[in-house]
Amino acid sequence: MQEPSDTTNPDPRESVESLETGYPTLSSSVFTTPEGTYYLKAPGVALLSKPAVNIAGLAAFLEGFDSKLQFPQYLNDASPLPSGTQLCKVAGQLCYASFTPKRTKNENAPRYFQNIKDSGHGSVLEHANFSFLFYGISRSVTHELVRHRAGMAYSQLSQRYVSGTVLRFVERPEYQDDPELHTLFERRIDRAAHDYEAIAEGLVARQKQGSTILSADARTDLRKKVQQTARSVLPNETEAPIVVTGNVRAWRHFMEMRANPHAETEIRALAFRAYLCLAAIEPILFEDYSIVSLSDGTFAVETQYPKV
Ligand SMILES: Cc1cc2nc3c(=O)[nH]c(=O)nc-3n(C[C@H](O)[C@H](O)[C@H](O)COP(=O)(O)OP(=O)(O)OC[C@H]3O[C@@H](n4cnc5c(N)ncnc54)[C@H](O)[C@@H]3O)c2cc1C
């Protein structure tokens, strides 16, 4: 990966936490209004899952060819690779049966993946999946996020199932350092939380009085009928936690579209944080990306190899 282009800003890569565990995070603090409404100011990102690879499993397969090919020595490569890089390299090398001593060894993996990017053979990157928890992001952001279909899986907090007890909000960066906009934000989310509770209570009362439109056979469905109605007052700035699994090809496309200078500010912050985590543990797969410092103090990424 190249250096950030503006070296006067602190290096954002240093903000990555928990790197020693192999599962990086960028956490996000929780704040409360004077009335006790919870809110966050930045996307929280936690890597939950990455590939686990056992190339020794190739042994019986590699031993089944002419011994002159020396395929089994493929397993003796002395240079370990991060699991996603290793998995994609094995998958790619299977395509050409590149198991002989003349193959590209792990120490030259950067060159191997440069060829993949040059030739646009990004399908091998689809083998490595990474799952994140994203929190401290608004419903506006997740509406944009879930537009990314290919190679992505989503599980999002249900506003129908959960009650107002887990209601939190997200303050946009534009409000945070402006006393007037910040005060308006706090008042607005207090009001939204209050209105939500008031509507939910009113609906429960009507349910008990026998309202037909709010009736249901099961207890859970009764609750859903209340919450699916009460959520109509919640603003776009309501927090919408989500678990997202994507393969490397899909994550790259997401970052190219969303950690992009033209992307919306909040989703750009999210995409950039996810990029920092992935680049920290899989540097070879993202080494063509460079970090760009933008005039508003935020960051984007760019690459000469989009949409491999
Ligand atoms: C700055 C910005 C502004 C935007 N503004 C708007 C807007 O005003 N309104 C709006 O509705 N959306 C908007 N979008 C969303 C955008 O149109 C895409 O829906 C979103 O970025 C997902 O991109 P994608 O389809 O390439 O991604 P994915 O769904 O992840 O797809 C990845 C790639 O797979 C291929 N692919 C996926 N599905 C299909 C398919 N069904 N058929 C053929 N090929 C497929 C395509 O090559 C695609 O690029 C905006 C996005 C950005 C970044």
pLDDT digits (tens, 9 = 90+) for 41-51: 999 999 999 99
Residue 148 CA, ligand 1 centroid: distance in Å:
6
Percent of the chain with pLDDT over 90: 94
CATH T-level fold of 12-50+128-302: Alpha-Beta Plaits (3.30.70)
Is 50 exceeded by the pLDDT of residue 1? no
Q: What is the structure's pLDDT at 2?
A: 46
Residue 218 CA, ligand 1 centroid: distance in Å:
39
Residues of the chain with CATH 3.30.70.3180: 12-50+128-302
Is 258 catalytic? The answer is yes
CA angle 3, 301, 148 (to 5 degrees): 155
Residue 25 CA, ligand 1 centroid: distance in Å:
27
- Please give the average per-residue pLDDT across 91-103, as a whole number: 97
* pTM of the predicted model as reported, rounded to 2 decimal places: 0.95
Residue nearest atom 19 in ligand 1 by C-alpha distance: 147
- Confidence category of residue 8, pLDDT binned at 50, 70, 90: low
Residue nearest atom 28 in ligand 1 by C-alpha distance: 148
Residue 147 CA, ligand 1 centroid: distance in Å:
6
> Is the CB of 150 within 6 Å of ligand 1?
yes
Which atom, in ligand 1's list, is nearest to the CA of 144? Answer: 15
Ligand 1 pocket mutation, candidates 149, 154, 255, 302, criterion most atoms within 8 A of CB: 149
Which atom, in ligand 1's list, is nearest to the CA of 149? Answer: 29
Residue 190 CA, ligand 1 centroid: distance in Å:
35
Q: What is the Cα–Cα distance from 292 to 302, expressed in whole angstroms? A: 7
Ligand 1 pocket mutation, candidates 147, 245, 267, criterion most atoms within 8 A of CB: 147
- Confidence category of residue 10, pLDDT binned at 50, 70, 90: confident
pLDDT, one tens digit per residue, over 211-268 is 999 999 888 898 899 999 999 999 999 999 999 999 999 999 999 999 999 999 999 9
Which atom, in ligand 1's list, is nearest to the CA of 264? Answer: 1
Residue nearest atom 13 in ligand 1 by C-alpha distance: 144
pLDDT, one tens digit per residue, over 54-87 is 999 999 999 999 999 999 999 999 999 999 999 9
Q: Mean pLDDT across the chain, nearest whole number?
A: 95
Is 60 exceeded by the pLDDT of residue 5? no
Which residues are CB-contacts of 300 (< 8 A; sequence separation ≥ 6)? 259, 260, 261, 263, 268, 272, 291, 292, 294
